[in-house]
Amino acid sequence: MKKRFGILFIILVIFSLYFFVLKKKPTQVIIPKLNLCKIHSLDYYRNQLYNDTIYWNKDTSTINWYLPYIKNIISNIQQNCLDTSHLVYPYLSFDEVVFYNNSLDIIGKTLNRNQISELISIINNPLNFKWGETTFEKDKIIIFKTKGKEIARLSIMDYNYIKSKPNNLMMKFGELNGDRVKRLYKLITTIKR
């Protein structure tokens, strides 16, 4: 009798592995694109980035420190506007984006296409960020994957701060501004459901 249950258990395990692991639904490759110039003109981005830097840095002696960052961001926007094949963060195509509510979460939630589009539009527009920075303790993680392997990671703290790996220079130092915090909160709330 025990031998029968053992064989039945092995068959059940093999059957489960086949249907839940090996027979996963086919994945669709997502190519991250966002044409920033359809949102605003290059001059608008340039003016806003310089004005934002002046606003957050009343001490004008420190502004020169930010100039290389601003030039890199403007160069990236310009490339984005001129080259329709230009990829935005995570700079590679991917087939899955998974959200983990905390670093101890074992099972994450997979984002749908609308959630991915919203996330891409938040993290790739430099006007969504200000120059603020903080010491960082992540409480949420979003991982971009290709064929199950991690290609990029966003660590989020308090819906306000995002760190990216690899670095996304479009996020300045990672602090979201104003209503962008609400957009990220709303997005994460829909993912958690």
Within 4-160, strands assigned E span 96-100, 109-110, 129-130, 140-146, 149-157
**Assigned domain for 8 exists:** no
Q: Chain centroid to CA 155: how far?
A: 9
CA–CA distance from 129 to each of 89, 169, 180 (Å)?
15, 11, 8
Contact by Cβ (8 Å): 188, 142: no
Report the pLDDT value the prediction gives residue 21, as an integer from 0 to 100.
Answer: 47
- Number of domains, the chain: 1
**Assigned domain for 24 exists:** no
**Assigned domain for 112 exists:** yes
- Amino acid code (one letter) for 12: L
167 pLDDT band, cuts 50/70/90, is: very high
**Assigned domain for 63 exists:** yes
Helix (H) or strand (E) holding 175: strand 175-176
**Assigned domain for 126 exists:** yes
**Assigned domain for 17 exists:** no
Helix (DSSP H) and strand (DSSP E) numbers for the chain: 5, 7
**Assigned domain for 5 exists:** no
| Out of 35-39, 57-61, 127-131, 135-139, least confident range | 57-61
Structural domain boundaries enclosing 126: 32-192
CA–CA distance from 188 to each of 71, 148, 173, 193 (Å)?
31, 22, 21, 9
Ramachandran area for residue 130 (φ above 0: left; ψ -120 to 50: alpha; else beta): beta
Q: Judge whether residue 118 has pLDDT over 50.
A: yes
22 pLDDT band, cuts 50/70/90, is: very low
- CA-nearest of 24, 25, 28 to 116 is 28
Model confidence pLDDT, tens digit, residues 42-80: 999 999 998 887 776 666 677 788 889 999 999 999 998
**Assigned domain for 27 exists:** no
